[in-house]
Each structure stands twice: as structure tokens, then as C-alpha cells.
Structure 1
Amino acid sequence: MASANKIGQLTNRLSNMLLNSDSYKYSHWLQYPPDTRFISSYIEPRGGLFSEVVFFGLQAFLIEYLSHPITSTDVEEAALLLNAHGVPFHRDGWQYIVDQHHGFLPIAIEALAEGTVLPAKNAVLQIVNTDPKCYWLTSFLETALLRAIWYPSTVASQSYACRQIIHRAMEKTCESLSGLPFKLHDFGARGVSSLESAALGGLGHLVNFMGTDTVSSLIAATRWYGMTTPEQIAGFSIPAAEHSTITSWGREGEVDAYRNMLRQFGGPGKILAVVSDSYDLWNAIDNLWGGELREEVKQQGGVLVIRPDSGDPVKIVRESLERLAVRFGYRINEKGYKVLPDYVRIIQGDGINAVSLQTILDAIIVAGFSVDNLAFGMGGGLLQQVDRDTLGWAMKASAADVGGIWRDVYKDPITSQAKRSKRGRLAVIETEHGIETIRLDELVGRKNLLQPIFENGKLLHEVTLTEIRKRAGWGD
């Protein structure tokens, strides 16, 4: 495939913003009423799996896609492709943006601060065109803008829900909450649909936790959210075994594989994780880790994290803790729960989601164990097993200026009240009952939480991941 577009050839570039939409959008500029000047739209989660939503990901999209001007080359490429595709391309409208706005899209976006935790059914963002000749631009951006918001926000919301579950269990069974940021580790990079999904979803998880194996999320944090120095690294990991590195020693060499892990990565202040169910988890715990290697585990000075990787996670975690307590002993903490010695822990990374997480924690608490004894890993369940309907994300037009007069724009389908949309220009406020969305003309002096963030190609305010974490309850 050619590396660059040539005259008369279809484009091979995915970076052309004019082509970042659905096909039917290209005919919409012909469908609005005569004299339409401005279209105002909003994005909201209409509700779904989680009771609270974490708004996240807008800045990444604004920096990566909307802060760069479109060009006449973009227009030429789009015209060639879309004419062949069979849809009416608004060439004059896009060329107007190139000529009159130097390629920067004439739109204004106001949004909640990223990291805001709010109930569903509230607007998180409002967008309007700033040039009346570009009334069609607002809704054209729906595909790209909605996708940019729903995915990282949904992952951040799921991760936040898991954080709340773990937080409650730790409050009940732990003497300190200091370990909370490392209780859920992101194992999801291989299970997502693309590298960019891994980066954005992984970063959504890092809003709530600091453990990750998704390296692209660290790049995302430096590229889009100000974590640019080694001291600001967004997430951490440790040396860990996989089945191939253990089973390559052969079944008869299993104990040697474990011993090698201790000697390669153990030591004072160090942490290592070893998958231990390649053959017989119970033998590994009872006779290898808790038998032949017991003294070395105790004396190596670091922390051994044993990882089961198959079976019923509720049964496996509970029984693993019980067997480790027999082999290594335990203490009773101030809350009355068993805590293994500091040098041995468990991480459960198989079969974890918000439901199983709660069930596992309930089971170990009933068995008398503190959450200090374990951490969790979450892969496809964290980054991939979500979709736009997980929280009902939608972008809808709510107001239009036609002939200089604003009118409400809304849908109210008789067949689904859940899809009833909001009307008018909007504002979001904080009340004694929490965050609420109202009409802008009802604001009357109250603070609007939808604040200007982007206008005509310029990012008005940049936020760091550190600020977002604090807003999402980091340290609570």
C-alpha cells in the first residue's frame, strides 16, 4: 500500500478528521431548516450498570484530534473518497473552514471538570458551533466526540465502582487504607480492540488505581495528561511469571522455576508475582512454597505474591488463604481479621469483574481474613467488556438557533421514555441533592459546572492526571 495519497487515489490515512464520522452524517448539512445558524448538543450517560459515573477522556481527544487544523489536502481526500462512497460531501463548507478559520474547527465546548463523579442522566459536555455558516458541524462531530468520551469514562466508572467495593471491605477488615491504590491491577492490554483502546482504557483505570501492566496507558498519561517526568509516572508494576516461564522448566522442575524467581527478583524491599497453578496449585502452596521453599520465602526480605489463574475464584482465593495461613502462620489485626506474614500475599487475576469481586471479598471476610492479604487483577472485564450501552451514553441536539431565535430541539419517543432527550441550552449545577442538569435560562446566578474548555481550535485549560485523581476521590 502506498505510504501517501496520490492525486486520483483514495486516501489511506485514518488521521483525516473529515473522515472521522458515520456515512449518514455527510448528508445532514442539507437536512436542517432554512436559516439555521447554531446547533447546540450535549453528551450524557443515560444510566446503566453503575450508579455513579466518572467523566474522563475529553482532553485526550481535544489534544490529539481537534487542536490541529484541517487542510485543503484533507478536503480533497475526503471529496474523492466520499463521492465514490455515494454520499453528498459538503466540500464548500469544509473549504470555508480552511480558508476563513485557518483550518481550526469553529466550535466551542464546555464540560465538567474531568474526574467529576456524578449520577447518570446529567450532561457532562455541551458543544455549539461558533460560526453560523457551520451550523452542521456540531452534529457532524457526534461520532468522534461521543466515542472519545464514552469509552474512557465507562472504564473509569467501572474501575471506580471496583474501588468503592474494595474500599468498603478494607474499612471493615484492614488497619490502614494505604494499600488501596494497588488493590486492582490492569491486565487488560491484550484483550482490547486496539492500541489506542488500551491506552485510553488503561488510563481510565489509572484515575482510580496505580497498578497496571498496560504500558500504553503510561504513554497516554504523558502525552495527554501532564505526567511527563519519572517522578510523575502514572502507574507501577513488578516482575511476574507467566505459565511459559514456569512450565519451560518441566513439571519435575516446578520448584526450581519458583526458586529461580525468588533468586532473580526477591530481596529486601522487592515484590514478585508467581503464577502457581500450572499444574497443582494446592501442591504448590502446601509442599513447594509452604514446604521446600518456605524458609527462603521467609528470609528473602521481599514479598512473594502467589497467583492462582484458574478455577472458581471464590473457592480458590478462600482456600489459598486458608492453606497459606497453615503453612506460614498469621496474626489477628486490630479489626479482628487474619493477616498473613508481610512476605506472602495472593493476587487473583482470573474471572474478576465487579460482581465476582464483591463475592470474593464477602467470602474471605466470612472466613475471617483481611483484605490486606490479597490484590486483584482485571483484564478483559476491565477494558473490553464494556460498550456504549453499559452506561447508556448518547449525544443529542437540544437547541437550535433558526433565524436568530433559539428553539428547543428534543426527541420524545412514545415507545421509549428512556430515550427522551433534554431540551434547550443546558447548565449543570451542584445542589443539596447532588449534581443536576437544568436549562441555562434557569441558572439565575448559580455556578454552572459546565465550564469553557475548548474554542476554535484552542484548548483553554489543561488538567493533569494528578488533579483528576483528586477530584475522583483519590485519598478518600
Structure 2
Amino acid sequence: MAAQDFNFLLATDSYKITHYKQYPPNVSKIYSYFECRQKKGSQFNEVVFFGLQYLLKKYLTGPVVTEDKIQEAKLFYQMHFKQAVFDEEGWRKVLEKHNGRLPIRIKAVPEGKIIPRGNVLFTVENTDQDFYWLTNYIETMLVQMWYPITVATVSREFKKILAKHLKATSGSVEGLELKLHDFGYRGVSSQESAALGGAAHLVNFCGTDTIAGVLMAQRYYGCPMAGFSIPAAEHSTIISWGKNKEKEAFERILDQFLSGPVSVVSDSYDIFNACKHIWGDKLKERVMERSEDSCLVIRPDSGDPAETLIEILAKLSDEGWSAENVLFGCGSSLLQKLNRDTLSCAFKCSYVETNGKGMDVCKQPVTDPSKGSKRGRLSLRRNSDGFLETIERGAGKPEEDLLVTVFENGSLLQDYSLDEIRKNALLQDDEPNPNLYNHERELLHNHIISSIH
């Protein structure tokens, strides 16, 4: 569906169409928030906030309600519910009173910021008392924020691990931003997933073959070129020569790409034979004569990387190899092997106003206390110990609040560049935590490609 054909009125869960009939009489404000709940035993204790700007720019900014879209929604919901439950009058009031722009305010942490789980990440409230029902109408779309947040978070956890080993074996983290390459384009569910997930990875790294993510960073985050790649072989370009001409296939690639790095998949038949006898013997001189900035990357693409690549990084160190000699790539595990529960993402109402009186509200299910929600108007502050904490019940001081108004009444009020976001997400001096061994193995086993150069 082309962006101009997108109908915001149809971008919600069906049952939300009926909610304007369910709120208390004389309610004038609904205030909700989004968080990644804390969860005991999780390998992720903090999250990277990313992706809201894209959703706001593409789907919520400007006049999103028109008469044609109201009529389209009216017909759809009549057929969908087999009864008249669509609030045609309410939506037409949005059109007439606000020129089709949403009377909503969204406050959020700056994109790229690293936030401990269990804290508020953004809040949503109506700015016109007639449209209290809008706040949670847009929950469906906004909760899809779980995806870019989760990809950016997982990507950054990889970065911590790679930084640890790079620094331990080479004395610096130079080149870290190119150590994890995104090969997830074909492994995701849609073009939009590739774009949003690919861009989320680019918050932390610069290596990618997911063009959709680079294009999204250009269009929505002001970055002319966020990611880079190199010429590389795939199995079709090797096996098309026949099994007995693997050496000729390799040699052809060296001839065609004389300068600059080049990657050659070398496990079409026997990765060990290819490394020892072809690259390490027959073509050794051709490899050695390449300049320092034109290295050969030998890519294994099968087997458990932890075994194929000398049991990855920990074993490399034992064998006296620097992590500088290894690049990693990740496919669908990076962009697709996750879901909303990976970081326990949730959107909940915490404050309402009825008859001009405010009331803090929350949910407290006896069957699962972990799903209890926060109360009242929320703010995020850094306390005297330097830790981030969420202040509930409207008790926060506005001057301390780290939440920034990013959207109000149909207008985008903050436009973060990818450069700003990357700075916010940089690893700090006390990262990575050295006590990460089990965490490392769980993450690294998701890699489908490791390469030696």
C-alpha cells in the first residue's frame, strides 16, 4: 500500500473501534505510557530507544483524517462487525476541528538513549478533551516500536561482546563499527521490517547488506550513507564453475576485484581444504600481494561458527589471534528471531480525568504480578546516584524530566539525525561488562556467518 493510500482509521485492533462507547461518562483525558518491563533472568537489562521518529513521520504527522478515509472506514467496519459501531461523528469532528490532524501529545526519551528496563520510554495523551479515545486507539501502531527497539538492543549487546574481545586482543576498539554485518534482508517478513530492523542495526554498526535499512536512515534520519558493504561471492558464483574448478572460481574473483576488500564464500565443498590448500597454498602469493586496504575475507557459511572458527573469540585469544582478524555477519537471527516478549514491551493507561478531576490508575492482575503497571503521570529523571528512574503519580519535577515532547497536534517537534542517535548509543568506558561469558555464547550462537581476513 502506498503511503498516500494509508488509512490511519483502519490501523488499529478491531475491538478498539468500540472503546469510545466504554469509557466513563464525562471522561476528558486518557494518558498512557510505553515501557520494556523488567524481567528476572533476562539477558537484557537495558534497551536502546529507536524507531519512534519513523512511525511518527510516516503514519501520524500532518492531516491523516479525510472525508474519503472516514467513508472507507465506515463501510469497512459496518461489514466487519455486521453492525454500526464506528464513531463517524467523532472522526468527522477531528477533521472539522483539527483539519484532520491528531490532537495527541507524545513525550519520549531521545532516540538512541540507553534506558534500564522497567522505565517509561514514552507517554501519550490527548490534547483536546473531546478526543480522549484517541490515546489508546493508536496503541496498536505505537506498540510496534518493540521491533526497532529490540533489534537495536540486541545489536548493541553484540557490540559489547565484540568490543570486549577486540580490546583484550588488540588493545583498542578501532574498527568496531564494522565488526558485525547485517545480512538479514531476506530473512525478515516484509520490506518494512527490513527497513526498520536494518536501520536499527545501523544505530550501532556501519556494516550492512540490507539496503532497505540504509534507505530508511536516509529518508527518516537524515543520514546520506549510513551503511557500507564490499564485493562478495555467493555459492552460485562458486559452484557454477564446477567442483573441480573451485580454485579458478576464487582466482577469478581476485582478478576482478584487485583493490579494496573482497569476501569469498569458501565452504561450498570443504572449508578446511579451501583454506589450507587453495588459499593457503595455491593462491597464497596472490593473496599476499594484495595491499593492506584490499584484504581477502574468507567466509565460512555452514556449521556451528563456534566450532568452525576456532571456537570463536575466546579460543582465538588462547591461540594468540587478535579479534582484528575476524568479522561477523548475522542474518535473520538479528532482524527476525525476536518478538514483543523479548523485551516485554507494553503500553498501559496510568491516568484519567473525569468531570475535571484527575485519577491515577493501574492494573494489578493477581494471576501475574509482573504485569502490574505504573500509576499516574510519569516522568524520567536521573537521581542523585546517577541512575535513571521513573517518577510516578505526577510527582516528578518538570525541569528534571528527560522525556521530550516529540509530537503534538499532528506536528513532529523533534527530528533526530542518525549521527545524534549513534552518539547517544555509544558504548561507555565501563562497557562492556567483562562478566558476560554465558551471555556471549547465547548471543554468538545466533550468528550464521563468521569470516577470517
1:369, distance to aligned residue in structure 2 (A) = 1.8
Q: What fraction of aligned residue pairs are identical, expressed as a percent?
A: 47
Return the alpha-carbon distance in structure 2 between the equivalents of residues 285 and 166 of structure 1: 24
1:249, distance to aligned residue in structure 2 (A) = 0.5
Equivalent residue, structure 2, for 1:24:
15
Equivalent residue, structure 1, for 2:263:
273
Equivalent residue, structure 1, for 2:32:
41
> What secondary structure is seen at the aligned counterpart in 1 of 2:161?
helix
Is residue 73 of structure 1 aligned with residue 68 of structure 2?
Answer: yes
Note the 1:433-448 alignment, pairs <5 A. 433-439=386-392, 441-444=394-397, 446-448=399-401
Note the 1:50-449 alignment, pairs <5 A. 50-69=44-63, 70-86=65-81, 88-147=85-144, 149-227=145-223, 229=224, 233-267=225-259, 270-301=260-291, 302-318=294-310, 360-431=312-383, 432-439=385-392, 441-444=394-397, 446-449=399-402
Report if the CA contact (8 A) 1:42-1:398 is conserved.
yes
Return the alpha-carbon distance in structure 2 between the equivalents of residues 36 and 366 of structure 1: 66
Return the alpha-carbon distance in structure 2 between the equivalents of residues 309 and 276 of structure 1: 8
What whole-Å deviation, never above 9, does each CA across 1:277-325 have from its counterpart, x for those lacking one? 001111111111111100001112220000001112112101xxxxxxx
Q: Could you tell me which amino acid in structure 1 is paired with residue 333 of structure 2?
A: G
Report if the CA contact (8 A) 1:314-1:363 is conserved.
no
Q: Could you tell me which amino acid in structure 2 is paired with residue 240 of structure 1?
A: A
1:475, distance to aligned residue in structure 2 (A) = 8.3
Report if the CA contact (8 A) 2:66-2:100 is conserved.
yes
* Off by >4 Å, runs of 4+ in structure 1: none
What whole-Å deviation, never above 9, does each CA across 1:179-226 have from its counterpart, x for those lacking one? 100000000000001000000000000000000000011110111101
Report if the CA contact (8 A) 1:169-1:371 is conserved.
yes
Equivalent residue, structure 2, for 1:457:
410
TM-score by length of 1: 0.86
Cα distance change on mapping 1:156 and 1:463 into 2, 3 Å = same
What whole-Å deviation, never above 9, does each CA across 1:70-108 have from its counterpart, x for those lacking one? 211110000000110006111111111011100000000
Report if the CA contact (8 A) 2:62-2:411 is conserved.
no
Return the alpha-carbon distance in structure 2 between the equivalents of residues 441 and 408 of structure 1: 9
Q: Which runs of 5+ in 2 are unaligned?
A: 430-453
Report if the CA contact (8 A) 1:117-1:472 is conserved.
yes
Return the alpha-carbon distance in structure 2 between the equivalents of residues 292 and 39 of structure 1: 71
1:370, distance to aligned residue in structure 2 (A) = 1.3
What whole-Å deviation, never above 9, does each CA across 1:365-423 have from its counterpart, x for those lacking one? 23332111101000111000010000000000000011111101210001111100000
What whole-Å deviation, never above 9, does each CA across 1:116-173 have from its counterpart, x for those lacking one? 10110111000100110101000010000111x1100100000011101111111211
Return the alpha-carbon distance in structure 2 between the equivalents of residues 289 and 376 of structure 1: 20
1:34, distance to aligned residue in structure 2 (A) = 0.5
Return the alpha-carbon distance in structure 2 between the equivalents of residues 146 and 416 of structure 1: 21
Cα distance change on mapping 1:475 and 1:465 into 2, 3 Å = farther
> What secondary structure is seen at the aligned counterpart in 2 of 1:452?
strand
> What secondary structure is seen at the aligned counterpart in 1 of 2:267?
coil
Return the alpha-carbon distance in structure 1 between the equivalents of residues 272 and 165 of structure 2: 26
Return the alpha-carbon distance in structure 1 between the equivalents of residues 290 and 398 of structure 2: 63
> What secondary structure is seen at the aligned counterpart in 1 of 2:12?
coil
> What secondary structure is seen at the aligned counterpart in 2 of 1:306?
strand
Return the alpha-carbon distance in structure 2 between the equivalents of residues 99 and 398 of structure 1: 29
Question: Bigger CA drift: 123-132 or 439-448?
Answer: 439-448
Q: Could you tell me which amino acid in structure 2 is paired with residue 218 of structure 1?
A: V
Return the alpha-carbon distance in structure 1 between the equivalents of residues 8 and 252 of structure 2: 51
Match of 1:467 among 402, 414, 420: 420
Q: Could you tell me which amino acid in structure 1 is paired with residue 418 of structure 2?
A: L
Return the alpha-carbon distance in structure 1 between the equivalents of residues 372 and 173 of structure 2: 42
> What secondary structure is seen at the aligned counterpart in 1 of 2:347?
strand
TM-score by length of 2: 0.90
What whole-Å deviation, never above 9, does each CA across 1:12-39 have from its counterpart, x for those lacking one? 9961000001111111111100010000
Question: Bigger CA drift: 307-316 or 54-63?
Answer: 307-316
Q: Which runs of 5+ in 1 are unaligned?
A: 5-11, 319-358
- How many aligned residue pairs are there? 420
1:456, distance to aligned residue in structure 2 (A) = 0.4
Equivalent residue, structure 1, for 2:437:
none
Report if the CA contact (8 A) 1:208-1:474 is conserved.
no
Question: Bigger CA drift: 432-441 or 175-184?
Answer: 432-441
Return the alpha-carbon distance in structure 2 between the equivalents of residues 67 and 144 of structure 1: 13
Report if the CA contact (8 A) 2:183-2:210 is conserved.
yes
Return the alpha-carbon distance in structure 1 between the equivalents of residues 5 and 367 of structure 2: 38
Cα distance change on mapping 1:13 and 1:113 into 2, 3 Å = closer
